[in-house]
Amino acid sequence: MMNKEKKQNYIKEMTTQFDNSEAVIVAHYQGLTVKQLDDLRSQMRKHGIIFKITKNRITKLAIEKTKCKELSNLFTGPTAVALSEDAITSAKILTKFSKDNKNLKILGGIMGSDILDVAGVQNVASLPSLDEARAKIVGILRSPAQKIASILLAPASKIAILALEKSKK
C-alpha cells in the first residue's frame, strides 16, 4: 500500500515519463509468468524502452495533463505500458512477443500525437526500423554509382556497343 507522498511522487514520475516519451503502448499481461515478464523487460531494456506494470487509478491521474490522456480508457485490468523514443522498435518487440505469448494482449497506444488502436500498433510494427530504412536508402544511392563506375571501367568497345543500342531505341 502506498502512502500519500509515495503516490504523489509516483504520479509526478509517471507524468514526466509519459510527457517525455515519443511512443506509449498499453498492453494487458495477465497470465504471463515472472520469467516471461523478465524476458520481455530485458528485450525492451536493450533498446532503451521502459516496460512498466502500472497502477491503473494512479496512472489515470498521471496522464490527465499529458498528451496521453486519450489512453485513459485502456487502463483497466492488469495493465503494463511501454514508454520509448522509438515507436517502431517497441511495437515490433511487443507484437513479436504477443505472437509467441498469447497472454500479452496489446490494447493500443500513442505515437507522437497519433492515437493507435491494436491494428495501428501492428502497422507501426511492420514498418522498417530507422537502421533498416537507412540501409535501404544507402543501397538505393549506391546502385546508380556502381552502374556508372562499371560503364566507365568497361573497355571502349563495350561503351560503343551500349551507345549503339541506346541510339537504336
Residue 65, domain CATH:
3.30.70.1730
pLDDT at 118: 84
Arithmetic mean of pLDDT over the chain: 83
Of residues 158 and 133, the one with the higher pLDDT is 133
- Mean per-residue pLDDT, 98-103: 88
Query: Phi first, then psi: what are they for 51, rounded to 5°?
Result: -120, 115
Which residues constitute the domain of residue 154? 131-168
pTM above 0.75? no
Does residue 168 have a pLDDT over 80? no
Quote the pLDDT of residue 87.
82
- Same domain for 19 and 54? yes
Average confidence (pLDDT) over 122-139? 78
Residues 75 and 150 in one domain: no
Domain count, the chain: 2
| 13 grid coordinates | 514520475
Lowest mean pLDDT among 46-60, 106-120, 134-148, 149-163: 149-163
pLDDT score at 156:
61
Q: Which residues contact 12 (CB under 8 A, 6 or more apart)?
A: 62
Which pLDDT score is estimated for 160?
65
pLDDT greater than 80 at residue 161: no
Mean pLDDT of 120-142: 78
For residues 148 and 112, membership in a common domain is answered with no
Give yes or no for a contact between 104 and 27, defined as CB atoms under 8 angstroms apart: yes
